[in-house]
């Protein structure tokens, strides 16, 4: 029996690549995305009985029910690639409440809604879950505070999810890509800094926009990683993809461990004074 996959953000970037690969293996793909035209383009190359397209903004109130109904209609679910999300870059002070709310609604709350919609079927199949985080789910850059916080939330609740699901046979992997050549940067929301934040946020944004094409990894590498971990009997909880992700996360962990060691004295019990 062929497997069934549900992929959010299937119209572009990593989601589109993984959808194409899953379809090439003979899987049935439930492809979810906001762009109806791109979903139609994806579906045009495969038989109708191998793809279910769902034009959907996963932040809308009934998204969870729509997805649950789609899974029920298809009849099973073996793999979830929870990929949809977007970027927000700017200082905390200059990012308004509406923008802050939107990044968490998309990257965190909608991610949870997708999980609630699919977990009953995934438990039944002892399936696989791939949660798309980022290298910035492990640390922050200047300008990335709220985006990093949203991806850090995905990283940590996915770890808890893996622990909760351990007896069921469902396996969870958090993918932490570095900087890759998708349309992510072009679609990200940028809050331009004022003069206070020009030396930090402004410099970072300027430097990032000046990166040459070779600084961006081949997104096929991320698709390769997703396809590989889904096939593993015991997949890793976290996978950093891209040399920049590996080195950035390693450097952050080393720095945090050094800081933990340096200030460990705060956690020691004070000496008891004799009377």
Residue 80 forms beta bridges with which residues? 6, 129
Length of the chain: 275
Query: Which residue among 3, 133, 148, 158 is the active-site one?
Result: 133
- In the chain, count H helices and then E strands: 10, 9
Q: Indicate if 147 belongs to the active site.
A: yes
Is there a catalytic annotation at residue 151? yes
Those residues with Cβ within 8 angstroms of residue 247's Cβ, 6 or more apart along the chain or in another chain: none
Packing angle, helices 220-231 and 13-24, rounded to 10 = 50
The Cα 236–Cα 173 span in angstroms is 6
Instruction: Write down the catalytic residue from 3, 144, 145, 147.
Output: 147
3-state DSSP helix/strand/coil % of the chain, to nearest 5:
55, 15, 30
Angle in degrees, 0-180, between the axes of helices 36-44 and 13-24, rounded to the nearest 10: 30
- Active-site hit among 145, 151, 158, 171: 151
Catalytic residues: 133, 147, 151
């Amino acid at each position: 029996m062929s497997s069934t996959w549900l992929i959010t953000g299937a119209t572009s970037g990593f989601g589109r690549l993984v959808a194409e690969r899953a379809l090439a293996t003979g899987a049935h793909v439930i492809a979810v995305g906001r762009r109806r035209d791109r979903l139609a383009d994806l579906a045009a190359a495969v038989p109708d009985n191998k793809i279910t397209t769902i034009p959907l903004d996963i932040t809308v109130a009934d998204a969870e029910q729509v997805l649950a109904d789609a899974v029920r209609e298809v009849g099973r679910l073996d793999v979830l690639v929870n990929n949809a999300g977007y970027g927000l870059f700017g200082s905390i002070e200059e990012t308004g409440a509406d923008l802050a709310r939107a990044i968490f609604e998309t990257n965190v709350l909608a991610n949870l809604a997708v999980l609630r919609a699919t977990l009953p079927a995934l438990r039944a199949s002892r399936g696989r879950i791939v949660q798309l985080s980022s290298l910035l789910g492990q640390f922050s850059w200047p300008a990335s505070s709220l985006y990093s916080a949203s991806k850090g939330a995905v990283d940590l609740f996915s770890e808890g999810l893996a622990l909760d699901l351990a007896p069921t046979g469902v396996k969870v992997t958090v993918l932490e890509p570095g900087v890759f050549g998708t349309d992510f940067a072009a679609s990200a929301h940028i809050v331009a800094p004022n003069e206070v934040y020009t030396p930090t946020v402004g410099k970072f944004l300027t430097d990032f926009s000046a990166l040459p094409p070779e600084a961006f990894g081949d997104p096929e590498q991320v698709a390769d990683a997703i396809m590989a971990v889904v096939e593993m009997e015991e997949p890793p909880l976290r996978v950093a993809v891209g040399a920049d992700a590996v080195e950035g996360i390693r450097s952050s962990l080393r720095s945090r461990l050094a800081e933990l060691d340096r200030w460990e004295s705060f956690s020691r019990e004070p000496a008891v004074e004799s009377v």
